[in-house]
Chain A
């Protein structure tokens, strides 16, 4: 099962490819390391693009269609770059019951974007999650990687405003 010795060259001199390659090597360049490899790409680059998908496919000796299939099957992977700031609104049951939809509505009202979209000036992306495991603090929002709980729509809007600096 081990790949032959001809190692695939990284798409560029960017050091982040080394992190990706480390993960693939740890899995012996085997096909079952695909999801872990895609996680490594997304962690390093923020999203998966054609170049990275092809690089992973070639390195693991997999057809690009299979890699693309996996990348699009799992919600965690994104094929689009995110805006400068991100706001993840939890839409799990506990948060929904406590008014997460109102937070999303408010964001749409303020910035004109729906979940999965980015503002035209590329400042803010809005995403949703299915429970981030902090249900005790519902509704939960993650702004630029920092979680906050028990926020009202107004408080969230203020919070985003401060981060985006608008």
Chain B
């Protein structure tokens, strides 16, 4: 496939879509499928067929964002969004084409939920059919790859990523350009690219959505990385819990190979790049890069000490570039529009946008993409629509089990890597869970500790034993049986585990405890001294029981 052929595909697509008078885009991502979006698609297709309508196309697209109100259907060119559509609504929707929309189903697109977002990673999500290569190409897909391969040298590609200021979206925020430079400079005839799609944070679904809604973009990003650092083989490590993402990815790989966009001599150049999918098997620790490498090699996913970093010695001892799904998804637009353009978005030290999975006690749950530097308040109250049922906001959790709970006083803080770290949390991969007064913060800390305890790989003592002990202590605080000495012990243990664990899982496991202790200490004290749970969540033993 060469640039001219890509253009031919685009032209053919443009010509075909010129014949389409009207398009019904049905969300076929996992969220909407689970509330029977697939039946809606079939019903709409049947309805259009039975009315013998010409120029009306019904097609599946990726996530439209407002997952909680699914199944969603977007009608173009009218640009009308229907929510909670059921198969029975098909007749009304089709009948309304070209006329007045079906009022009872309309979801306004003029709300801040849609207006305040900025799409880079998700620019194609909900706009293209993720199962068609042609659709991606018609939206300037693989343009960046073709141009780079034919017109730019690998060091120029690395330089462009450096100039963009892009930082890793997998959690730690390491500058992507620097990582690419390290791997590019590493010696060795064989190098690998790994795309981290393990998405272990329980309560986050950004990477899943990207893979389901726009799989080719991730493949293009990986191929560009391969060209830049000199690797000819890539793996995408995806959770086995995401069957739809795996299916779309495999389908995309096959299409790209057939079109000559993956495989040998891509775009008639000497560049070869193959991609394979590897399934995870439900171990959070496998998101950690050295554990992930062990898992790709077919072993138990246990981390090892770094250095050496994977950039020097990774998969089978070869230099390996590991980036997150969203990181790779940012690459094609960066190459297309230039690093400078990207660096113009966001804040001084955090460039571009970030995709968040907004969930919990918030009105609009779903997938959002916002420029870095937006405030938490804007995300939760404008885009998210605030807290349902007139309840009161209590905290927002970012970064999952490695992150922290941020209280109300920081709502006006900008969302970027450094500000979040300053208040004791992390950006993380993009899970954002809103909590209201019905959540007990000690119970939340216990929940995350239970997670870390079961997910600890057991390799090192501080984490294996420490998380279990911290969990015991939190359980007895929740049960109202703990003393102030127990609380002191808990704080000491947090410190020990944080500074002596081998990998990030153990090192960050105290974060949910530390932040809740910092901002919600009174709730801990209420459990310990007053024997009551202010939120009414914990089952506190009565004083008599305690003393019995």
Q: Which residues of A contact B (CB under 8 A)?
A: 30-36, 38-39, 69-70, 73-77, 91-98, 129-138, 140, 146-150
Q: Which residues of A contact B49 (CB under 8 A)?
A: none
A96 to B359 Cα, complex, angstroms: 11
A150 to B69 Cα, complex, angstroms: 11
A63 to B279 Cα, complex, angstroms: 22
B223 is an interface residue with CB less than 8 A from chain A: no
Contact B278 A36 (CB under 8 A): yes
Q: Which residue from chain B places its CB closest to the CB of A30 in the assembled complex?
A: B298
Contact A73 B447 (CB under 8 A): no
- Chain B: minimal CB distance from A58 (Å): 15
- Most central of A32, A38, A39 by chain B CB within 10 Å: A32
B30 is an interface residue with CB less than 8 A from chain A: yes
- Chain A: minimal CB distance from B190 (Å): 14
Q: 1/0 per position for B184-208, CB-CB distance to A under 8 A?
A: 0000000000000001111111001
- Chain A: minimal CB distance from B33 (Å): 8
- Chain B: minimal CB distance from A44 (Å): 14
A134 to B241 Cα, complex, angstroms: 11
- Chain B: minimal CB distance from A52 (Å): 15
Partner of B203, one of A30, A73, A92, A146: A92
CB-CB under 8 A for A94 and B433, given A131-B205, A137-B34: yes
Contact A133 B433 (CB under 8 A): no
B431 is an interface residue with CB less than 8 A from chain A: yes
Contact A130 B200 (CB under 8 A): yes
Contact B361 A97 (CB under 8 A): yes
In the complex, besides A93-B397, A138-B359, A138-B365, 18 extra interface pairs with C-beta distance below 8 angstroms are A31-B297, A33-B298, A35-B278, A39-B240, A76-B281, A93-B203, A93-B431, A95-B203, A96-B447, A130-B284, A133-B30, A133-B205, A134-B67, A136-B67, A136-B366, A137-B34, A149-B31, A149-B35
Contact B241 A133 (CB under 8 A): yes
- Chain A: minimal CB distance from B237 (Å): 10
Q: Which residues of A contact B31 (CB under 8 A)?
A: 133-134, 136-137, 149
Q: Which residues of B contact A (CB under 8 A)?
A: 30-31, 34-35, 67-68, 70, 199-205, 208-209, 240-242, 278-284, 295-301, 357, 359-361, 365-367, 397, 400, 431, 433, 435, 439, 444, 447-448, 451, 454, 457
A29 to B199 Cα, complex, angstroms: 28
Q: Which residues of B contact A96 (CB under 8 A)?
A: 447
- Chain B: minimal CB distance from A131 (Å): 4
- Chain A: minimal CB distance from B208 (Å): 4
Contact B298 A32 (CB under 8 A): yes
13 A-B pairs (CB sep. < 8 Å): A35-B298, A76-B280, A91-B202, A97-B435, A98-B361, A130-B200, A131-B204, A133-B208, A136-B367, A137-B31, A138-B360, A140-B34, A146-B34
Contact B298 A31 (CB under 8 A): yes
Interface pairs A-B: 10 shortest CB-CB: A93-B203, A136-B67, A92-B202, A76-B282, A74-B281, A94-B359, A147-B34, A75-B282, A34-B298, A32-B298
A85 to B365 Cα, complex, angstroms: 30
Q: Which residue from chain B places its CB closest to the CB of A131 in the assembled complex?
A: B202
Q: Which residues of B contact A95 (CB under 8 A)?
A: 203
Contact A130 B300 (CB under 8 A): no
- Chain B: minimal CB distance from A127 (Å): 11
Contact B282 A130 (CB under 8 A): yes
Q: Which residue from chain A places its CB closest to the CB of B365 in the assembled complex?
A: A136
A96 to B446 Cα, complex, angstroms: 12
Partner of A70, one of B242, B282, B299, B361: B299
- Chain A: minimal CB distance from B86 (Å): 14
Contact A93 B295 (CB under 8 A): no
Contact A75 B281 (CB under 8 A): yes
Contact B359 A136 (CB under 8 A): yes
- Chain B: minimal CB distance from A140 (Å): 8
Q: Which residues of A contact B300 (CB under 8 A)?
A: 69-70, 73-74
Q: Which residue from chain B places its CB closest to the CB of A62 in the assembled complex?
A: B298
Partner of B433, one of A76, A93, A129: A93
- Chain B: minimal CB distance from A159 (Å): 14
Q: Which residues of B contact A138 (CB under 8 A)?
A: 359-360, 365
Partner of A135, one of B205, B281, B361: B205
Partner of A97, one of B279, B284, B439: B439
A74 to B367 Cα, complex, angstroms: 28
Contact A93 B447 (CB under 8 A): yes
Q: Which residues of A contact B283 (CB under 8 A)?
A: 73-76
Q: Which residues of B contact A98 (CB under 8 A)?
A: 360-361
Q: Which residues of B contact A70 (CB under 8 A)?
A: 298-300
Q: Which residue from chain A places its CB closest to the CB of B240 in the assembled complex?
A: A76
A146 to B38 Cα, complex, angstroms: 13
CB-CB under 8 A for A131 and B279, given A136-B367, A149-B35: no
Q: Which residues of A contact B361 (CB under 8 A)?
A: 97-98
Partner of A94, one of B30, B200, B203, B296: B203
A33 to B281 Cα, complex, angstroms: 13
Contact A137 B439 (CB under 8 A): no
A136 to B432 Cα, complex, angstroms: 11
Q: Which residue from chain B places its CB closest to the CB of A60 in the assembled complex?
A: B298
- Chain B: minimal CB distance from A17 (Å): 20
A131 to B209 Cα, complex, angstroms: 14
Q: Which residues of B contact A76 (CB under 8 A)?
A: 240-241, 280-283
A3 to B281 Cα, complex, angstroms: 25
A35 to B35 Cα, complex, angstroms: 31
Q: Which residues of B contact A74 (CB under 8 A)?
A: 280-283, 300-301
- Chain A: minimal CB distance from B34 (Å): 4
Q: Which residue from chain A places its CB closest to the CB of B209 in the assembled complex?
A: A133
Partner of B205, one of A77, A129, A134, A146: A134
- Chain B: minimal CB distance from A84 (Å): 22
Q: Which residues of B contact A36 (CB under 8 A)?
A: 278-279, 298
CB-CB under 8 A for A97 and B360, given A131-B205, A135-B365: yes
